[in-house]
């Protein structure tokens, strides 16, 4: 089953839990956008509070503890027996982090609305306004559903597999670094900006297109693949695109913000 769902498929789906995961680094707050208009029945999911632990040496968006995520998921109405559909504004960057986190903690059926709220609106489907509270869910968080990498494993993978850097190419090259204190990339990593996973509308390219893209970058059958970014958000989008292409991949959740927290780790540029 594809991890993606279309607006028409979602509009015909009954009994699903729908999470609005609109988020943008530096704002505006996703909750405000949610109140202005959201898919009817959806509940707002806060990426920073619900899908990550507090920032620190583990990174800007570390993996949340299982009990914390279970509590958040239940509050959002998530149950293991019901399909969960997640969406953001358009390109699925934030939604992919929700998809990945739910999958990592054992949810068997999570879908991402391809093209996000923009695609929903473009098809003339209705919106609701105001707040929306969920009926308490019964989800049980069991970590291990998706593979993860720590810093040492990411370094190893960059040497004997393929480690994809999902950030913009200029950040990979170390020409600019607007967020983290050190510019550059993990030595041996390959630049693979997530913007190339989607078309101008924010919808994912077709599986064959994505498969060819990642094969060209070295992600071919028999080779272990992982992804990282600045803080484990856009890299989740890379893992989702790889899944659409039929290529399994691990996520370095701490990503660059964790890598540079240890000054002894090497940094490459160019």
Give CA–CA dist 178/185, Å, rounded.
14
Rounded Cα–Cα distance for residues 166 and 235 (Å): 5
Q: How far, in Å, CA of 29 to CA of 94, rounded? A: 13
Q: Which residues have C-beta within 8 Å of that of residue 210, sequence separation ≥ 6?
A: 197, 204, 241, 242, 244, 245
Per the annotation, the verdict on 229 as an active-site residue is: yes
Catalytic residue among 229, 233, 251, 261: 229
Q: Which residues pair with 191 in a beta bridge?
A: 165
- Pairing mode of beta strands 162-165, 190-191: parallel
Torsional sign, CA 164, 168, 170, 174: negative
How many CB atoms neighbour CB 142 within 10 A?
13
What are the residue numbers of the active site?
Answer: 229
């Amino acid at each position: 089953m594809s991890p993606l769902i279309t607006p028409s498929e979602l509009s015909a789906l009954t009994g699903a839990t729908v999470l609005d995961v609109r988020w943008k680094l530096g704002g505006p707050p996703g909750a405000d956008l949610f109140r202005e208009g959201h898919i009817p029945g959806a509940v707002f999911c806060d990426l920073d509070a619900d899908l990550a632990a507090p920032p620190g040496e583990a990174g800007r968006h570390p993996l949340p503890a299982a009990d914390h995520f279970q509590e958040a998921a239940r509050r959002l109405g998530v149950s293991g027996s019901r399909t969960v559909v997640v969406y953001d504004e358009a390109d699925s960057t934030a939604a992919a982090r929700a998809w990945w986190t739910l999958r990592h903690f054992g949810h068997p059926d999570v879908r991402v609305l391809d093209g996000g709220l923009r695609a929903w609106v473009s098809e003339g489907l209705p919106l609701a306004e105001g707040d929306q509270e969920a009926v308490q869910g019964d989800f049980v968080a069991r970590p291990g559903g998706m593979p993860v990498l720590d810093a040492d494993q990411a370094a190893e993978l960059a040497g004997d597999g393929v480690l994809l850097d999902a950030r913009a190419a200029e950040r990979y090259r170390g020409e600019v670094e607007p967020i983290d204190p050190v510019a550059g990339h993990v030595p041996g990593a390959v630049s693979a900006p997530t913007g190339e996973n989607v078309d101008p509308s924010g919808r994912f390219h077709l599986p064959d297109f994505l498969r060819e893209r990642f094969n060209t970058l070295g992600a071919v059958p028999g080779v272990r693949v992982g992804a990282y970014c600045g803080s484990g958000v856009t890299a989740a989008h890379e893992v989702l695109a790889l899944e659409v292409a039929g290529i399994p991949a691990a996520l370095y959740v701490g990503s660059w913000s964790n890598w540079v927290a240890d000054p002894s780790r090497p940094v490459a540029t160019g």
